[in-house]
Amino acid sequence: MQKRAIQDWRIRKQILDEQKVVIIPKMWDCEKNFWLNYAEKVCGYKPIFSVNKEEKLDHYKFHNNACLFYSGGLESALIAHQQPELPKINIKDHFEWTNPIEGSLAICGAGLGYKVTTYGGELYDGGNFKEEEKLVGWEYELTVEFAREWEKYSDAIFQSPFWLIEKNYLFKVAIREGVTFNSCGSNKGDLSYWCGKCDKCKQIRQYCYANNIKDITKL
Ligand SMILES: [Zn+2]
């Protein structure tokens, strides 16, 4: 992982922990403004920056074009199906859970040297996330604004083709095109396991039922 990613990770973590004083490497004001705006949007506060003069904010070095963060869920499976040329990075190889806060993916993709990081982001739907995952940054990191600000700050592109697309439409396309995916909220990595009881399983079952197609949660 590149030095810059570790620096960004450290700053982001301090802000998510709502540290009053956030230690940062030497950086330009416009770079500081990125984090000020971030703290405001994500946690609603203004941190005080303490600059570590021994350390300078590094640059990302891009030696790869584009990648896709893949979880096996509906959105990323659909992107992998539609853009098979994109190298897949398994989210589980880098994060402990399959729904990490999106900003982590932006940092990780750039830190692995990818100019363009693609992920299967959907707009926040208000459900199915666990409290302990501390998803404070979730909504802002899912916005086009975050991606635009991130690009100015890091020079890396962070994008989801599905930001503005309705989930039902994605189901329809995935099922029609025979894409293998798993959205079960209780799934621990086995793409064929559907608990049948969680919100996601129920949602998909209802969709299949309403559209008169085979219930894929029973595969
Ligand atoms: Zn389930």
DSSP-derived secondary structure letter, 137:
T
Give the distance (Å) from ligand 1 centre to CA of residue 216.
11
Per the structure, how many domains does the chain have?
3
For residues 200 and 124, state if they share a domain. Answer: no
Residue 115 lies in a domain: yes
Express each pLDDT in 127-149 by its tens digit: 444 444 444 456 788 888 899 99
Enter the pTM of the model: 0.83
DSSP string, 48-99: EEEEEEEEE-------EEEEEEE-SSHHHHHHHHH-TTSPEEEGGGT-SSSS
Q: CB–CB of 4/57 below 8 Å? A: yes
**3-class secondary structure, 119:** strand
For ligand 1, an ion, list residues with CB under 5 A: 184, 186, 195, 198, 201
Give the distance (Å) from ligand 1 centre to CA of residue 113.
35
Residue 51's domain spans which residues? 3-56
Give the distance (Å) from ligand 1 centre to CA of residue 135.
21
Q: Highest mean pLDDT: which of 56-70, 126-140, 155-169? A: 56-70
Identify which has the larger pLDDT, 152 or 204: 152
Q: For residue 101, give both structure tokens.
A: 């806060």
Give the distance (Å) from ligand 1 centre to CA of residue 83.
27
For residues 74 and 49, state if they share a domain. Answer: no
Q: Which residues pair with 68 in a beta bridge?
A: 88, 118
Residue 169 lies in a domain: no
